[in-house]
Structure 1
C-alpha cells in the first residue's frame, strides 16, 4: 500500500497482530505435518521457545519449494519464514532459520503471527489488504521504544506512535514499538519511516514486521512484542537476513 503523507496514516495502513496457537493452526492432531514440514508436537515444542533438537538439521528449509529456495540469496545465513495458513487467511507462523557451517539449517522457535486481512498476493497494490508473496531482504529497524540491542541500524523516534484502532476495534498504541522494514518497494539502508517507493505508489509500500495488537494487518507481518525483541537481537547484518513470506502452498512451489 502507498505510504501516506502523515506518519499516522502510514501507521493505520500497516498494522496487525499475532494469535495464540496450541499447535500449528490450533487444530487437533497427533503428528500431522503442516506446510512448513513440522509436526504438531514439534510445533508445540518450538512455540514454547525450544528447538526440536531430536530432529536432524535439514539440508533445506522445510516447506520451501525449489522456486522459492532459488530466490534466497546464496549469502543469506538467516531466513525468517512467515508461512500463512491459506491464500485468503490472515493467520501465519513465523520461524527464523539459521544456516550452519556445514550447510544445514537450524530452526529457532515458531511463533504465531498475522499477515494482511485478506491474505496473500503475488501482485501487491496499495490498499488491496493483501501481504506480498516473495523473498525480501531485511536491512533496517526502528520503533517508538529504544533500541533493545539489535545489530541492525535502528531509528528510535516518537514518530512511530500509531494510535487509533485496528480491524477488530483493538488499540494500535504499541504496534510500532518495534519494527523491521521488509524491503518491498523501499530503499534499503534508510529508516523504516522513509516513504520512497522505487516501484511507484500504486505498488504500495511500508511493509514491516512489527508488534501484534490483536487483529490482522493491511500488509505487514506481526508477532508478539517479546518475539520482536528476540528477533531484533538475533538478526545480524553480516548474515544477510531475508524474510520468505507467503501462504504455505505458494511457498512450497
Structure 2
C-alpha cells in the first residue's frame, strides 16, 4: 500500500467535504464527481428553487476545483511582530485552468489547514472565480512552473496569524519584574496554553504573492492582500479582485 498516496487522497477528501458542508449549510446541494474531470465538486440549487423566489438559474450548476494544503508545525516561520507565518504554494495545471475557463460557472477553491492553537480557527478557504484566471496570469500571481512535467502554474501564498505570546516568555518576564511568585508560576503553567493571542487590535493576514514588475526584477515575490477567507453565505457571488 502506498501510504503517501492515500494520505494525500484523504486530505483532499477532507478539504472537499469541508466545502460541501459549507454549501449545505447555506441551502445548496454539492456532489463529488466520481473521476478527475478538472471539476471536483458540482453545486446545485434545487432546494433554493423550490423554497425561494430568488432566481439563481444562470449560476447553476456550479463547479469547484479544490486545492488543499495541510500545514505542519515545521512550516511555521516567525513573521513581523511575533506573528506565526506560513509560506506555501499550490500547483495548478494549465489544462485544468483551461477546463475552468470553458465553464463560466466555476471557481478554484483553495483550502489550507494550519496547526491548532495559532488562530481562531484552523481551516481557511479563499476562492478565485474562473473569470479571474487570465488576470491572475497577466498580473503574475499564477507563475509558470518550468520544472513541472505538465505545463503548470504555481500560486504562492503567505498567511500570518494574530500576534501570539509564548507562555514561558511571559512567565519569565513576570518573574523578572517580581510580579509573581512560585505559586503564580505554577498557576500560569497549569492554566495557560503554550501559545495564545496577544490582546492587540490586529487582523490575520492572507496574501497572494506575485512577481516584481520591471526590467530587472529581483527573485523575491511581492505580497498582496487581494483575497479574503471566502464567505459561503454569499455564494454564488464572488468578490471582484482588485489588483492595484
Same fold (TM over 0.5): no
Higher relative contact order (CA 8 A, sep 6+): 1
Q: Hey, which of these two has a bigger chunk of helix by percent?
A: 2
TM norm structure 1? 0.26
Normalised TM-score (structure 2)? 0.27
The structure whose Rg is larger is: 2
